[in-house]
Amino acid sequence: MNCSLGCMKCLVFVFNIVYAIVGVALLSIGTIFFTQELETNLDADTSALATETDDAVRALKQGALFFLITGVIAIVLAVLGCIGAIKESHLLMRVLAGVLVLLALIQIIVSGLAFAASGNDDTLTQAKLKISGNLDLYNDKDVKYGKVQEYIEDKYHCCGSKSFQDYRNMTPAIEVPKSCCLIDTSNCDTSRDNELKDKGCGDAVAEKIVFLYKTVGAISTILYILEIIGAIGAYFLGVTILNAKRRGTFT
């Protein structure tokens, strides 16, 4: 029994070390997501308008919040798991197993919601419509909408709503901005199609939203599997410790 207890303690301890590393990784990802903010050269009003226009920012913040909260919880549980294994506390092991099962269920829900959101046509269509609407207001010569459009074009390496042709099809037509240039904006000739980005910003923002939600869904799935494994290990370690106590072989 002592051999069995020692093996179980070792396995659970290793799991908690891995879980703590995952928690640190999640905190890092969440921090990176949160620091991907708007350019500092945008004034407060334009920055707020850009956030409202770019639906990918909302998905980014949701993902960041998820990663930060999950990372903190993972680190706390990993520390408690290590303490429980070292102290050979069957009660702490059972509590840990229960919490991990609960977290696994939450991760299943989060994963399902994230994957569903990534394929939600209404969400993606709305994101594209916001870009198109901003471009229409840009055509009305409102400077702040022009700054937002150029910001989005720089950020997502795109042009217009559907393509650079959007600018030429406006009434009246306006010159394609330098933010649509593929490489060097200083020497770019915006009248030449081969020097312009061919992807529309509506599609670019939609693709970013899909990527962010799929990332959250995939990581939630990995965490769900990891937490189920941890819950099983913690539960059986708790049972092993309790049996060892009852037999008087607890050391």
The DSSP secondary structure of 6-19, one letter per residue, reads HHHHHHHHHHHHHH
Show Cβ contacts of residue 186 under 8 Å, excluding neighbours closer than 6 positions: none
Task: Label residue 204 left, alpha or beta by phi (over 0 means left) and psi (-120 to 50 means alpha).
Answer: alpha
Mean of per-residue pLDDT scores for the chain = 86
Core vs surface per residue 36-65: b (16+ CB within 10 A) or e: eebeeebeeebbebbbebbbbbebbbbbbe
CA gap 13, 25 in Å, rounded = 19
CA gap 211, 114 in Å, rounded = 10
Task: Give percent of the chain above pLDDT 70.
Answer: 92
Identify the sign of the CA torsion 28, 31, 33, 39: negative
DSSP state for residue 195 in the 8-state scheme: G
Report the pLDDT averaged over residues 189-198: 85
Q: Where in the chain are all domains bearing CATH 1.10.1450? A: 135-203
**Confidence bin at 2 (pLDDT 50/70/90):** low
Encoded tokens for 11:
């396995």
**Confidence bin at 251 (pLDDT 50/70/90):** very low
Least Cα distance to 67 among 96, 98, 36 occurs for: 36
Segments in 36-162 forming alpha helices (H): 44-53, 55-87, 90-118, 121-139, 143-156
Report the pLDDT averaged over residues 125-130: 91
* Residue 148 burial class via C-beta count within 10 angstroms: exposed 0-12, middle 13-18, buried 19 and up: buried
CA gap 227, 19 in Å, rounded = 9
Report the pLDDT averaged over residues 160-171: 87
CATH class as words, domain 135-203: mainly alpha
- Please report how the helices 143-156 and 44-53 are oriented relative to each other, as an axis angle in degrees rounded to 10: 60
- pLDDT tens string 72-117: 999 999 999 999 888 888 899 999 999 999 999 999 999 999 999 9
Least Cα distance to 53 among 147, 186, 187 occurs for: 147
CA gap 195, 35 in Å, rounded = 31
pTM of the predicted structure, to 2 decimals: 0.83
The yes-or-no verdict on residue 249 having pLDDT over 70 is: no
